[in-house]
A = this chain, B = another copy of it.
């Protein structure tokens, strides 16, 4: 199988590495608007060839994986559509799904039924194809959000490839996906960026950054993610994210009232509920 990877970074590179290691892909042609990513993909042994454009990469490919920031997907779909083979399969790895589906529907033409929207719930702290790892998706969730006209055979094929990479595949609607990830991923990233930015601009920034404790370090780790990627995600999923942020701000308003009133019971009730839910997420307590 010939795989075209458009957007050569950690996620797409790791998928290509996993599929090559398993013998599911023998050729991987890459395209990225950043030439250094192509070079790094070659050096990492992940790309067997490079192309000068997304359309060139897609031409003749059996499987086209779009792994650009979600804000670039519409233009990418539009560019590759005329170059796609009749039986080519197209999929993506974007963190939002309703916007990507709308972009694909508007631009892929007859290939839209052979497009499988997918989102692997995995990542690494270090971006870039040089940190790609064929084991990145092992025992991680992979979500597909097919629509009524998604070709069932194509869908099953893409899901099977993700299983080859070690992922647990789950289907849901794009809207449900976007609401869940607005809450557990997009909002947390916005909150972390906002906190680190606020502290960096404060008159005590130097002391704060030097004395950052464990709590703040967890926030800064989140805020290490790519600003460009998160800009795109926030804009693409802005309706669901806006609703979550509204709800969170109402929650903070209540906590501000409790703090200002010295109402320890109200604070403790919130903290206890969170600690209980936390045990659900990670029953080992790690």
A residues touching B (Cβ–Cβ < 8 Å)?
Answer: 71, 121, 123, 125-126, 141, 143, 172, 176, 179-181, 183-185, 187-202, 204-205, 207-209, 211-228, 230-232, 234-235, 238, 241-242, 245-249, 251-253, 255-256, 259-260, 262, 264, 267-268, 270-278, 280-282, 285-286
Whether B222 and A218, one on each chain, are in contact in the complex, defined by CB atoms closer than 8 angstroms, is: yes
Chain B nearest CB, measured from A100 CB (Å): 16
Copies in the complex: 2
Name the prevailing secondary structure of the A interface residues: helix
Q: Known contacts A200-B274, A242-B256; is A280 also within 8 Å of B209 by CB?
A: yes
Cβ contact of A231, chosen from B71, B218, B268, B278, cutoff 8 A = B268
Whether B220 and A278, one on each chain, are in contact in the complex, defined by CB atoms closer than 8 angstroms, is: yes
**Residue in A207, A259, A268, A278 whose Cβ sees the most chain B Cβ within 10 Å:** A278
Whether A184 and B208, one on each chain, are in contact in the complex, defined by CB atoms closer than 8 angstroms, is: yes
Whether A121 and B213, one on each chain, are in contact in the complex, defined by CB atoms closer than 8 angstroms, is: yes
Whether B189 and A228, one on each chain, are in contact in the complex, defined by CB atoms closer than 8 angstroms, is: no
